Homo-oligomer: A and B are copies of this chain.
Amino acid sequence: MFLGTSAGVPTRDRSLSSMALIWKGEVILFDAGEGTQHNMLKAGISPMKVTKVFITHLHGDHILGLPGLIMTMDLLGREEPLMVYGPKGLNAFLSCLLPTIYEDSVDFRVESAEIAERGLVVEEKDYRVFAARSLHSVEAWAFKFEEKDRPGKFNEAAAKRLGVPPGPLRTALTRGTPVTVRGRTIEPRDVVGPPRPGFKMVYTGDTAFSEEIVELSRGVDLLVHEATFESSKADSARKVMHSVSRDAAKVASMAGVKQLILTHVSARYQDVNTILKEAKEEFNGVKVAKDLMELEIE
């Protein structure tokens, strides 16, 4: 769910950078620009379900919605801790800001972690989040959300044929342990299909074209890449370390992703047709995000 898709300043239609990944009842935010909580309300996403916030960089349009969101969580009586991950300076942002607005003693734990190096940031039971460097004017990180591969399908018919009874033997096989039935060794692959690949997504935040993001995005299902400008602005985009739509499409194409969504569109473009058209020339499976646009994860 895209909560804000503008760049730098809001427009009437586009609020500031934020995206929510709704993952089995847990809400994971990527960036939290001013107005994030307003668009969460419109989208019907409860602040209480947000477990983690990943901040790509500390420019105001990516972070200034975080304090208000924390304040709202506090007013709503939240007790569960909130984890915030981001670049160097994140701890200072929170520790200097919250006391000045009398939120230094919120009734739940706000834990922030500054990312020190590329690689694994979070590991949960069924997913991991990785960070890689973006190419921006200040320290900035792109994030990859990676669902762990799910076990293969259990082949009921094969198990029956091989005489494996329901119960602990089948459980062992699904967990990858060979078992012996009537003196014969049965391998997991005899009754369990190949592991099914999990959902994988990259969210770039602000960045110029970056090989490192191509690497991070290799084969993902969804690449959410910034495309601040039309391609005619390539020179000025490079100067301010942003992407034009063709940069984003090139990353998608080189990385072989399944789907590309462009976001962080400059407020100057009320009409995004050119941005979309230029990207399509490089990569067909592309859309331009709108506020409150929703994608289903298969």
Contacts and interface: CB of A to CB of B under 8 A. Distances in A.
Interface string A36-50: 011001100000000
B101 A59 contact: yes
Contacts of A93: 97, 100-101
B89 A58 contact: no
Interface string A53-65: 0000011110111
A116 interface: no
Number of copies: 2
Interface in A119-169: 138
Contacts of A58: 100-102
The size bracket of the interface on A is: 35 or more
Given A41-B12, A75-B8, A65 B101 contact: no
Nearest to A70: B60
Contacts of A231: none
A71 to B, nearest CB: 4
A61 B38 CA distance: 12
A236 to B, nearest CB: 14
Interface centre among A33, A76, A97 (most CB of B within 10 A): A97
Given A34-B38, A34-B68, 14 more contacts: A9-B37, A10-B37, A10-B72, A34-B34, A34-B37, A38-B38, A58-B100, A60-B67, A60-B71, A89-B100, A93-B97, A93-B100, A97-B100, A102-B138
Interface of A: 8-12, 15-16, 33-35, 37-38, 41-42, 58-61, 63-65, 67-68, 71-72, 75-76, 89, 92-93, 96-97, 100-103, 138
19 contacts: A8-B71, A8-B75, A9-B71, A10-B72, A12-B41, A15-B38, A16-B68, A35-B38, A58-B102, A59-B101, A60-B67, A60-B71, A64-B64, A64-B67, A64-B68, A92-B96, A93-B97, A93-B100, A96-B100
